[in-house]
Amino acid sequence: MKPDLRLEALTRRADPLADRTVAAIVGPWRDATQPGPEALARLAKVTRLTAQWRNNACLADWQPEADVGDPALVTALRDYLREGSRLPGWADPARIARAEAVFVQEGPLSCTLLFCASLPECYVPPQLAEVLHVAGQLEAHTEHRIRQTAAMVFPVMLKGGLTDPAGCGVAQVLKVRLIHATIRHLILHGDPEQASGRVAPGSGRGDGTDGHGALHQALLTHGWDIDRRGLPCNQFELAYTLLTFHFVFLRGMRTLGLGLVKADEEAFLHAWNVVGHVLGVQDDLMPATYDEANQAFRRMQVFGRGQAAAPDVRPGLGQALMQAMARSIRIPVLRQVPVPLTQWLIGAQSARDIGLGSAAPLSTRAVFTAGRVLAGTIDRLVRYVSPQFSLSRLFVRVVGYHLLSRFLLDQTRPLGLPEQVLHPMHCAVAAWHDEPRAPDWLNRLEDRWTTTGPWAASAAGAVTNNNRHQPGG
């Protein structure tokens, strides 16, 4: 098969704005493999400073809340915010608002599809999976990765997240963009624009890596072959990941028999394309329609699968994700459902890529297949008299409830988000307890598998309302 030269070129492009910022923060390296303790201390200081980016309004004229004793560092961050926080001229507030409404309406389904489709598809390209593996140690910290992802999704998709000065979406995305640049800088031992050939693993000994050391040491000691792999967190990987957030969600809704109308699909793509622009993705890599996104995703997966995978970390990542979801479901009969659900949503080839070809017992897969076929058949028949009826939606909402309870609503492990995000997020999730398009009897049935009343968490991580209705709970 002939190589895709355009996609190959994208693997050697990164993000000049964010890379310049991190290079200015880190400064000259002490030697070829170590940036020096003072540089790593500045990176740790940046983490504390970016925590002050609490909403979109503060970005344009941000000043640290206390003297940090490093004016060059503050100047680098202010320059980054001044350029990076601007939305593209093509951003359409009306379409963004429409996408926000879709997210609020389909919230539990959005979360289930994030966990059972978007994240698994991220693991398919081997080089992207390797970056995720080394940067996040995902097999050991899968729940942390899930929570980090949700900590970006909610701020950008809640009302006003991208367009309201009081929103927090732009601020959260710019933090993620800096993390990507930091990963590149430490793996490549310097500015990506200056890196070439093979980057030898560093020693990673001490030198200020305490506190943030596990991540810094993993990045510094990993090594990288640019000629074979391109740059870490490159434009191909950024654009592909963006597709997993918007296209894979839309594809999943269609797979469930709950596809959105065309205007809603295009509004959802548009809103996430605005996110992609703020994240540093090239504008020409962003599809405007479902068909364009489908073609781009298929092409990128073919290219991604052609990358070398030695060692192949993808099965470990996929299986760790499934185990994390199984632990989150308190109803025993549903505990293994995420595996066949993921296999169905992402397809057999992607499932094999990430080690899920036969991860669930045959009996579980058989029961799941029979159940979804039966539900789909009933849905099609009942919709002749009740167009919004859906057993499939009920099932995916139940799974979404248990994943939300574990990963987002557990107050023993609060998300590291400002109160401006946490409060509207909790309000939105609490309101998801009732599906207005479902008949009352179907909502009562859902309550037996979830909880009665708002979906809100207590300090112990369980829902505050009566859980006695949960079979096996």
Structure confidence at residue 196 (pLDDT): 84
Structure confidence at residue 211 (pLDDT): 44
Structure confidence at residue 467 (pLDDT): 42
The string of DSSP codes covering 96-150 is HHHHHHHHHHTHHHHHHHIIIIIHHHHTSSHHHHHHHHHHH-TTT-HHHHHHHHH
How many Cβ atoms are within 10 Å of 260's Cβ, its own excluded?
18
Largest interatomic CA distance in the chain = 72
Structure confidence at residue 212 (pLDDT): 57
- What is the distance between the alpha carbons of residues 388 and 393, in angstroms, rounded to a whole number? 10
Instruction: Quote the tokens at residue 277.
Output: 């622009």
Structure confidence at residue 324 (pLDDT): 87
Instruction: Quote the tokens at residue 353.
Output: 């890529």
- What is the distance between the alpha carbons of residues 175 and 177, in angstroms, rounded to a whole number? 5
Q: Is the dihedral of CA 116, 120, 121, 122 positive or negative?
A: positive
Using only C-alpha atoms, what is the Rg of the chain?
22
Structure confidence at residue 112 (pLDDT): 93
Structure confidence at residue 137 (pLDDT): 54
Measure the CA angle with vertex 246, ends 59 and 134; round to 5°. 75
Structure confidence at residue 458 (pLDDT): 46
- Non-local (6+) Cβ contacts of 251 within 8 A are 117, 294
Structure confidence at residue 29 (pLDDT): 84
pLDDT beneath 50: ranges in the chain: 138-139, 206-211, 458-473
In terms of Cα–Cα distance, which of 350, 344, 269 is closest to 302?
A: 350
Residue carrying structure tokens 């979109």: 56
The string of DSSP codes covering 385-438 is T-TT--HHHHHHHHHHHHHHHHHTS-TTS--S--HHHHHHHHHHHHHTTS-TTS
Structure confidence at residue 1 (pLDDT): 56
Structure confidence at residue 419 (pLDDT): 79
Q: Quick check: pTM over 0.75?
A: yes
Reported as a single tens digit per residue, the pLDDT across 303-349 is 999 887 778 889 989 998 998 888 888 888 788 899 999 999 999 99
